[in-house]
Structures are given as structure tokens and as C-alpha cells.
Amino acid sequence: MEELMLLLKKFFGFDAFRPLQAEVIQRLIQKKDSLVLMPTGGGKSICFQLPALYLPGTAVVVSPLIALMKDQVEGLVANGIAAAALNSTLPEEGRQQIRQQCLQGQLKLLYISPEGLLGELDWLLSRMEISLIAIDEAHCISRWGHDFRPEYAQLAVLKERFPDVPLIALTATADKITRLDIIEQLRLTDPQLFISSFDRPNLSLAVHRGLAKKEKVAAIVSFIRRHKGQSGILYCMKRVDTEDLAGLLTTNGIRAAAYHAGLPASQREQAQNDFINDRIGVICATIAFGMGIDKSNVRWVIHYNMPGSIENYYQEIGRAGRDGLDSDTLLFYSLGDLVLLRRFAEESGQNEINTEKLNRMQRYCETDICRRRILLNYFGEEAEQDCGNCDVCRKPPQRFDGSVLVQKALSAILRTNEHVGMQMLIDILRASGRGELIQAGYDKLKTYGAGRDLPFRMWKEYLYQMLQFGYIEIDYANAQTLKVTPSGRKVLFGEAQAILTTYREPEESAPAAKKEKKGRAVASPIRIIEANTPEETLMDSLRQLRSRIAQQEGMPAYIVFSDADLHDMVYKKPLTLEAFAGVRGVGDVKLKKYGNVFVALIRHVLNVQQAE
């Protein structure tokens, strides 16, 4: 164990294992199989990378995406670990070279795609010494999951060919069926199942509903302004929205690009690279974006529309804050989303499963108890207390007797013979006087204008609540008209009370605004950016240095040092190389390579401030 800890510090610069990492690693070293379920950012990679360093031979890592492999290999090489990816984008010469390295035992890790692996099986893999086999994103093997890849289904051959090599399967999403599927299809021998907590306390959670497009865009722009200089992903259901929003954000002075499967490959690659290398701050994407993205400093994720299931939602927000630092998430949803998703579910061929998944997602959105409790509960965990980091916890709902308000709405619905949808109903209540309304004669109704004291958005919110409490329902088959339910009638006739939750303005429940930084350059020798506090000044300067190095070396900034590493520098303020060695993320190689410049910068920044 001690030796493993030394390796962890020497190569990765970490002082301790995360939960379950040590157990998983020991199991591999004992040459036994395991299945590891950890949320995104939980630290799965170390589970096989460290044993790869410890055991003789080369670890073979199967990974579905070239981008993912490239990122991991770059990260390893930056830490002085011999690793390479064997894939089809390399020229034959390069591949030949990697094969040679494998045969001579020069590599500690070999990344390879499942098709590549099958191709190398007979020649390379049967000749080299394999220390362990890791199957990343193992859920791709299951038809039950959402990322099924046929090539994964052929990986059963691994156990047949290499019965003595320990196999580890890893994934961030696996319900019970998928789990069994992975174990069966990979033919794992007496596997131990490791499930780490799915809790990601560093992600804040918030949901806003019922905003019109204009309001959503305004909320998004103000959100992004509050997260100035930080990377984020804006997920949309429709391709056209990604382009539309990228354009709107750009008009607002925010550097953004669109990403979806319908764009030419070159354009997608450009957007992805710009994002990874911090040339743009925001990517507006469909769910096509993200699986291969290992960027650890994504600081926020916004859902422009509601996702179809909690699994999808959790995986997508999980792309924020992989470095463990505080990150914000925000989800918008509307009736329109719900209608569309319900139709997708019905047409999906797995109607019941998908409708149930959607229902659970809807309940999450509509809850007025701690959202994290609901999420964890969904993944089979029980939370002992409220999280304090979701919109519900931050601003517990205030209740009031909304009976009169509900009666007004219900009465208006009945007086139209249940012929209107939400929009028209609110127009009637607020006496909007628009043409269609007058034509239908709704201005003659007794309830016309009965609710003009409330703005449109409040009515919308209260109608959503009425839906949620079951006073009304939507006739999906009939132009989404509203119907009054039996329990609604009870309220209407004064037999029951309707307790509603007070309307909250979206901004109020948004994550706490973070202090904005005033950037101003000061004379050389080393560029220092002045900011509000000494810590911020130091942080900004460190970021600058990091991105300069990243540019020089042609790699993403987070491969040089992660945000979490920089924060640790700010916290520890190391003034000597010795002290710098104690910083998170500083292993032997980075100490040698970057120690001097970083220590010099830190000394310089701190001295400047002492002189002032």
C-alpha cells in the first residue's frame, strides 16, 4: 500500500486516494476482476492507471472514442508516464512504432478502440505482456444503455484469450440490468462490484420552469456574465437551437460555438478544440457533445430543455466540476419540452420504460424538497440530510392558501368548455383582448379579466403547480387543452383548500453571484493581473502562466495543471521548490518541468503586494 501511495504522489501529485480507489487497485493487483461504477469525475482512471504503473507489462485500455484516448494519453505523458494510443488516425508508420514499443515492454499503458483491439488480437496482443485489461465506458456493451456500440459486444473474446489477465470494467452509468449485462458479456470471473456514491456535492442544482424563449436567453446571458471567464456547456434538445443560441450569445459578446451531429466533422472538431483549449468559453450543443470530453475545468452546465431521463441529466451535469471545485448547473423546462419528450418516449419502441424515466425526470423538476435527495434516491442512495446546495435548500418554498386563485382558473377553464390551452387561459384571465380570443367570444365570459392582478409568468407558474397537484390535466391527444380533474372540482366548490408555493423570480434562486474580477495588466518582467484580493491576483497570474505554457507546448491548459491544482497553489503559496512539490497535482515530472517558473511567479506576485 505504501508503495502505491508513493507512486500516486510521484506520478500524479496526489496525497490520498479517493473513496474506493485503493480497494479497486488492490483487487487488480491481486489479479482479480471487478466492475466499477463511479460518477463522472469520481476518479475512475487512477483505478487502472496506478496498477498499470505497479505491475510488470503493459495495461491495455479499451476506450470508445479517439478524443477521449488522446486526452488521457496526453495527461499521462505530461506526468512522465509511458503511454500511447493505437488508433486508425495514425499513419501506419506510427502504429508500427507503437507496436514495437509494446513488444519491447516500453509502454505502461496502451489505449485502443474496440475495433482496433479486435484487429490486433492475433498478432500484437498475443505477443506482448499484458498486465491488465481495462474496459472504459463499459455500459457501451449493453443494448439497455443509451450508448450501445456493437463492437463492444465482441469483447467477450478477451476472457477466452487471456483468462489470467485481470479485467476491470468501468462506467458512470449503469442501472441494474446494464450491470448484469456488462458482467455477463465480458464473462468476468467472480467479479467484485464497486459502487461509489453518486453524490457530487460540488455541483449546485437549480431548475427554472415556464420561461418564454426571450426570458430564458436573458437569464442565460446574465448567468454567463456572472461566470465570467469560465467554461460552460449549454445543452439543447434541438440542433437548430444550438446554432441559434451560439449566435445570440455571440451577439452579446460571449464567445460561443455550436456543436451537433449534423455539422460537418471539421466544424465539430474545431468547436471542440476551441472549447478544450479555452479559446471559446461556451459550447451550445446537443447530447452529441460530451462523451469524449475530459475537460476538468468546466464550471457550469445549463440545460436549455429538459432531458429525457435522470440518467442523461446526471451524466450531462456531471461534465461540470470534474476537478472537484464548485460548479453550477441550471435546468430550464417547459410544457413544450414535456409534450415533445412524451411523444419521443411513445415512439421509442420502449414506451413504458421511457415514459417512466420521463416521469421521474419531471418529478425531479417539480419537487419542492431537496433536489439532491431525489437524485441520490434515484441511484439507490439515501441522503441523510438536505444538501444546502440546491435552489430548494437555498430558498425553501413559502406556501400560501391559493384557493381563490385556483378557483378563478378552474372556473375559466370550465366556462370555455375545456377548450383552451394554457396560453389562451392566461390571456382570458388577464383580459388580453387579442383577436383570436375575441373571435371565440371569450371576452364575454364571466371570468374574463378575473386574474389581471397577476403577470403572465406568475399565472404560468401557478398553472404548472395546479398540474403538479392534479387539479388540472393536459389532454395531450387534443391540442393540449386543459381539463379540470375531480380533485380540482373539490377546490372549485370549496370542499378542499389549495396550498400553493409562492412564485420566485428566476434570478433569486440562481446560484450566488460570484465576484467579478477587474483585469488590468502591469509591467513585466512577468505579467501580473491586478484583481480585488491578493488571492485573486495570484490566481489570475497563475492562470496566465498556465495558458502561456499550454500554448507553447500545444496542449490543453488543464493538462499542464488543473484548476484544482492552481487553487492549491494559491492556498499553499509555495515559495520554494520543496514546498511546491507538496502541491496537489505536482508529481516528479511537473516539479522538474514547471517548478521553477511557477515558484518564481508566486514569489514575484507576493513580493509586489508586500511592497504596496
CA–CA distances in Å: residue 148 to residues 139, 145, 153, 178, 581: 7, 6, 9, 11, 43
Q: Does 46 bind ligand ADP (CB under 6 A)?
A: yes
**Which partner, Zn ion, ligand ADP, none, binds residue 390 by CB below 5 to 8 Å per kind?**
Zn ion
Contact partner, 322, from ligand ADP, Zn ion, none, Cβ < 5-8 Å per class = ligand ADP
Q: Closer to Zn ion by CB, 62 or 301: give it.
A: 301
Cα separation, 52 vs 20, whole angstroms: 17
List strand residue ranges (DSSP E) for 137-189, in order. Answer: 167-171
Residue 14 interacts with ligand ADP (CB under 6 A): yes or no: yes
Q: Which is nearer to ligand ADP, 16 or 512 (CB)?
A: 16
Phi, psi (5° rounding) for residue 25?
Answer: -60, -45
Site string for ligand ADP, 270-299 (x = CB under 6 A): ------------------------x-x---
Nearer to ligand ADP, 297 or 389 (CB): 297
Give 352 or 368: the residue with its C-beta nearer to Zn ion.
Answer: 368
Piece in contact with ligand ADP (CB under 6 A), picked from 11-19, 126-134, 273-281, 298-306: 11-19
Count the site residues for ligand ADP by CB under 6 A: 17
Q: Which residues contact 244 (CB under 8 A, 6 or more apart)?
A: none
- Residue 44 found at the interface with ligand ADP (CB under 6 A): yes
The residue ranges of DSSP E strands in 254-376, in sequence order, are 256-259, 282-285, 298-303, 327-333
How long a stretch of residues is the chain? 612
Q: Which does 459 bind (CB under 5 to 8 A by kind): ligand ADP, Zn ion, none?
A: none
- Select the span of 17-25, 237-245, 427-435, 602-610 touching ligand ADP (CB under 6 A): 17-25
521-527: Cβ within 8 A, 24+ apart: 522/608, 525/604, 526/600, 526/601, 526/604
Q: Is 42 in the site for ligand ADP (CB under 6 A)?
A: yes
Q: What is the dihedral of CA 134, 118, 143, 197, to 10 degrees?
A: 10
Q: Which residues bind Zn ion (CB under 5 A)?
A: 370, 372, 386-387, 390, 393
Given a contact cutoff of 8 angstroms between Cβ atoms, the answer to whether 533 and 49 are in contact is no
Task: Kindly state whether residue 18 participates in binding ligand ADP, applying the rule CB under 6 A.
Answer: yes
Q: Is 45 in the site for ligand ADP (CB under 6 A)?
A: yes
- Provide the b/e sequence for 109-134 (b: ≥16 CB within 10 Å): bbbbbbbbbbebeeebbeebebbbbb
Residue 331: phi and psi, rounded to 5, are -125, 130
Nearer to Zn ion, 372 or 546 (CB): 372
Rule CB under 6 A: choose which of 41, 402, 506, 556 binds ligand ADP.
41
- From the list 34-42, 63-71, 499-507, 540-548, the region that binds ligand ADP by CB under 6 A is 34-42
Helix-helix angle 403-415:456-468, to 10 degrees:
90
Phi, psi of 301, deg, nearest 5: -135, 130
Backbone torsions φ then ψ of 48, nearest 5 degrees: -110, -20
Select the binding partner of residue 370 from Zn ion, ligand ADP, none (C-beta < 5 to 8 A, by kind): Zn ion
- Beta-bridge partners for 297: none
Report the residue from 311, 316, 323, 328 that binds ligand ADP according to the rule CB under 6 A. 323
From the list ligand ADP, Zn ion, none, pick the one residue 387 interacts with, judged by a Cβ distance below 5 to 8 Å according to partner type.
Zn ion
Residues 6+ apart with CB under 8 A from 123: none
Which of 562, 563, 569, 583 touches ligand ADP (CB under 6 A)? 562
Minimum separation from the CB atom of position 290 to ligand ADP (A) = 12
Give CB contacts under 8 A, 24+ apart, made by 606-610.
606/534, 606/538, 606/573, 606/575, 608/522, 608/528, 609/534, 609/537
531 binds, among Zn ion, ligand ADP, none (CB under 5 to 8 A by kind): none
**Where along the sequence are the contacts to ligand ADP (CB under 6 A)?**
14, 17-18, 21, 38, 40-46, 294, 296, 322-323, 562
